[in-house]
Amino acid sequence: MLRSIKNIALGLLLTAATTIPAPSAVAQSTTSCSRYIQGMFEGFSGDTLGAGHWFNVKGTRITARGQGGYSSFAMRENYAVRDGISTTVSSGKEGFLISKPNTTASVIQGKFQDVFPGRKDGKTDLTTLQVNRDGRVQIVLNAWGNATVNLANLECYRGHQGSTFVLTGQNRTYSHGFDFWTFVITPDWLI
């Protein structure tokens, strides 16, 4: 089972590496996350299709903790492995969905399984990503009593299409160390 989880993690990393363009001589500059978050609720400038109601998200986390650290990646809420084989339908193996229930919603959110390739028991942690209209981005640790963590130092990077973007954020918890999260967010009508 551990080998299968490691193979899935390696596959996701290789997929990400082949879909992200090689850096140019000048690094991509950050853009205001408030512009992108506003676009998630009200539509993106220049897009004729308006605001999306759901978004496909791919996510990773790196944690510095004690003398080492670990990494994890986000999979659909129903992601499961049995006897070393993923039992999740193929369309749901990469990433997860966040959605807003209506056009006046103040939160866009969705649950995902936080998968740890180095975890020998194969267990995952149910987690929720919340993007708030006021610009806050939060992680709800459902598997840990629904503790809510606010991401700080948000930075966004424009994707190859104006509506797809990369959002990064950090948080520090004294019991678990320093987390660095990265999410690639794409509106439903670009998928």
**Residues 127-183 pLDDT 10s:** 999 999 999 999 999 998 999 999 999 999 987 666 788 999 999 876 677 899 999
The model's confidence at residue 39, banded by pLDDT at 50, 70 and 90, is confident
Query: What percentage of the chain carries pLDDT values higher than 70?
Result: 68
Rounded distance between C-alpha atoms, residue 10 and residue 7, angstroms: 5
Global pTM value: 0.76
Residue whose token pair is 């609720």: 41
Q: Are strands 54-65 and 96-99 parallel, antiparallel or unpaired?
A: antiparallel
- Architecture of domain 2-19+32-190 in CATH? Beta Barrel (2.40)
Contact (Cβ atoms closer than 8 angstroms) between residue 98 and residue 111? no
User: What per-residue confidence (pLDDT) applies to 57?
Assistant: 92
Instruction: Give the DSSP per-residue string, 142-181.
Output: GGGTTEEEE-EEEEEEE-SSTT-EEEEEEEEETTTEEEEE
Q: What is the pLDDT of residues 53-70, one digit of tens each?
A: 788 899 999 988 777 788
Residue 95 has pLDDT above 90, yes or no: no
Sequence-separated contacts (24+) of 134-143 with Cβ below 8 Å: 134/106, 135/33, 135/34, 135/37, 137/33, 137/37, 137/167, 137/169, 139/171, 139/181, 142/111, 143/114
Per-residue pLDDT band at 83 (split at 50, 70, 90):
low
4-13 CB contacts, 8 Å cutoff, 24+ apart: 4/81, 4/84, 4/85, 4/86, 5/81, 5/115, 5/117, 5/119, 5/122, 6/117, 8/86, 8/93, 8/115, 8/117, 9/73, 9/115, 9/117, 12/58, 12/73, 12/94
- Mean pLDDT of all residues in the chain? 76
Q: Which residue has the higher pLDDT, 46 or 19?
A: 46
